[in-house]
Amino acid sequence: MIAPRGGTLATVWLAGASLVFYAYWGTEQVWILLGSITGNYLSGLAIAHRTRLKLPKKAVLILAVAANLSLLGYFKYYGFFTSNVAAIFGVSSSVSSVGLPLGISFFTFTQIAYLMDVYRGKVCEFTLLNYFLFVSYFPHLIAGPILHHAEMIPQFRSANYAFRIERLTVGLTIFIVGLFKKVVLADSVSVYVGPVFASPDVTLVEAWLGALSYTLQIYFDFSGYTDMAIGISYLFGIRLPLNFNSPYKAVSIVEFWRRWHMTLSRFLRNYLYIPLGGNRRGRARRYFNLLATMALGGLWHGANWTFVIWGTLHGIYLVINHAVSALAEWSGWPCNGLGWRVSGQAATFLAVVFAWVFFRAESVGSAIAMVRAMAGLNGKGLSPPPISLGAPASFVGMLLLIVFLAPNTQQIMARFRPQLDEVAPARLSWEPDVRSAIAVSIMAAVALTMMIRESPFLYFRF
């Protein structure tokens, strides 16, 4: 199917393609998406007083946001809430979790941000077709990024979808690199993760190998999806915001969250942390706001106390980070030398690895058992026989070298600027030549060969 070159017909075509894409994952979920889009679009019109009935703007905003959160809460947290209430009162609960519509967290947060910006007077585009495409645009719909209307709707309004060879070569290259990261790197290292986290008796070496394996799995999984989304979108001449920028190279937790899931960090900062008061009401209130924001950000990832603990840990990390920075500024302690950066990067990475244990574990108890093993309380060697050789130390070491030493995809492709954000180019730069074509073809062949089993992206379930 060939896309029209531009204008209303092209927007209709792309919106229809997005809806068909979403319907592939379950036609019953399409009605939830359509209902959400319709309700939020009408709410936006009401907040902007673009309807005959002039309702109080704040009341409409509160009701609309409450409706969005209720929809998300029902599908994502109903079983979690009822089971915890039952546990508190000591009764049994037979209520099972409701099936989670794919991408509901992403399209819900996207629309909440839109409504709040309408209320603040920051939205001047109210075309239904552009709004529909903004929410349903298929490269982002399943696992992000969380889009912002000011970045995307102007692109949809002026887009020209005519075929261009640069879009094809650049977009396809980025997509194949992302597919390779997911299928070859993330899925290969994941083989060791499950057995380690499922066993309560792993030793120190096995526990750290398992924790590092998951740290690398989620890195290449999320990085791979980000590349694939950017690559697909660039085929149409639409640039997505950057959502992943070598986060393990961060020298502090503050910098980590400027590099990891960047659009979620932006949403939490602009629509939760700042409305709570941000850093405007004193240091103690600032630290509370950080903890509350990150705990809720953890809960957004899933209906389990492990996610809440993961988010709270990062909140604690951020509090410590800001406190140390304030102390260093007060004392005049230099924080920009090579030693500071190396130690900061090492400490940040280890803190992130520790927190991932709770993110990955099925329960708080299994997470604590894993932490005990990482502390050496189950022994320090390999159990006889080792749990798995699916992710040997040499493979983990190779992936760590890639993470810390290699430039990321956006740096390699920087001169084409396939994403919205500016990225500093790397010395290793991609060129549309024969060598690049051969390298990308090999990566595509290897990735396609290894696609022997279904392995969804980790963020599909969030």
Based on the residue annotation, tell me whether 301 is a catalytic residue of this protein: yes
Q: Which residues pair with 160 in a beta bridge?
A: 6
Amino acid at residue number 132: F
Residue from 148, 261, 301, 322 carrying the catalytic annotation:
301
- Tell me how far CA of residue 42 lies from CA of 16, 34, 58, 127, in angstroms: 20, 12, 15, 11
Report whether 127 contacts 135 (CB < 8 A).
no
**Polymer length of the chain:** 462
End-to-end CA distance of the chain: 31
What does residue 33 show for φ and ψ, rounded to 5 degrees? -60, -45
Collapsing DSSP to helix, strand or coil, 91 comes out as coil
Taking each helix axis as running N to C, give the angle between helix 128-136 and helix 104-119, from 0 to 180 degrees, rounded to the nearest 10. Answer: 140
What does residue 240 show for φ and ψ, rounded to 5 degrees? -90, 155
Determine what percent of the chain falls in helix, strand and coil, rounding each to the nearest 5.
70, 0, 30
Report whether 26 contacts 100 (CB < 8 A).
no
Q: Which residues participate in catalysis according to the annotation?
A: 301
